[in-house]
Chain A
Amino acid sequence: EVKLVESGGGLVQPGGSLRLSCVASGFTFSTHWMSWVRQAPGKGLEWVANIKPDGSEDQYVDSAKGRFTISRDNAKNSLYLQMNSLRAEDTSVYYCARDFPWAETGTVVWGQGTLVTVS
């Protein structure tokens, strides 16, 4: 079964840091683009970052540039999001996703999300 499981969310003070993790199973992790997408409580979806299969290229939404770093460890089938200088507006459920946005395999796989609260 293809699965993504996020962890690392929690309550953090403004200006603090948090590292999210996403462990993948059921597929060859090292051959897929991976993403982080977030959703503030009661609000819409916002793409945060993408990383190439080999980790050699990444992209960020402007609000994350300079504060967040997406990375991956293909040997551990794991995706990460290091979040620094956190702000109240970063409060969201953070989802990791496979094959977002292009859906090369015919679909996009999502995790269940992890909640980050900055307060």
Chain B
Amino acid sequence: EIVMTQSPATLSVSPGERATLSCRASQGISNDLAWYQQKPGQAPRLLIFRASTRATGVPARFGGGGSGTEFTLTISSLQSEDSAVYYCHQYNRWPIIFGQGTRLEIK
């Protein structure tokens, strides 16, 4: 089973700045990685799939990169509404595994 490790656990960034979130897979997963945003009391929202493709309606300030075992989610020009927990998950092979999440706080 592939293990997904996200870092940091919590990130605090000022509005207008850039946030970089990391996700590492214990085995190579090509670009079969997605990123989700989840706010309290809400269902997850897909941001990025295939490691770097933005989902429909996602602003361009959300960007994904990486392949193999190392991946990043970059959020530029942070806004207050970006405060949320962000999850990555791999879908290269069954079972689909999520990372434990990164909590992004806007100062």
Contact = CB atoms under 8 A, between A and B. Distances in A.
Interface in A4-50: 37, 44-47, 50
A108 interface: yes
A108 B43 CA distance: 11
Contacts of B99: 44
A50 B1 CA distance: 17
A113 B99 CA distance: 20
Interface residues of A, number: 22
A110 B95 CA distance: 19
A109 to B, nearest CB: 9
A101 B91 contact: yes
B71 interface: no
A101 B95 contact: no
Interface in B70-107: 85, 87, 89, 91, 94-101
A108 B87 contact: no
A101 B91 CA distance: 7
A66 interface: no
Given A45-B89, A47-B95, A110 B43 contact: yes
Contacts of A101: 34, 49, 89, 91, 96
Contacts of A105: 56
Interface string A45-73: 11100100000000111100000000000
Nearest to A50: B96
Nearest to B49: A103
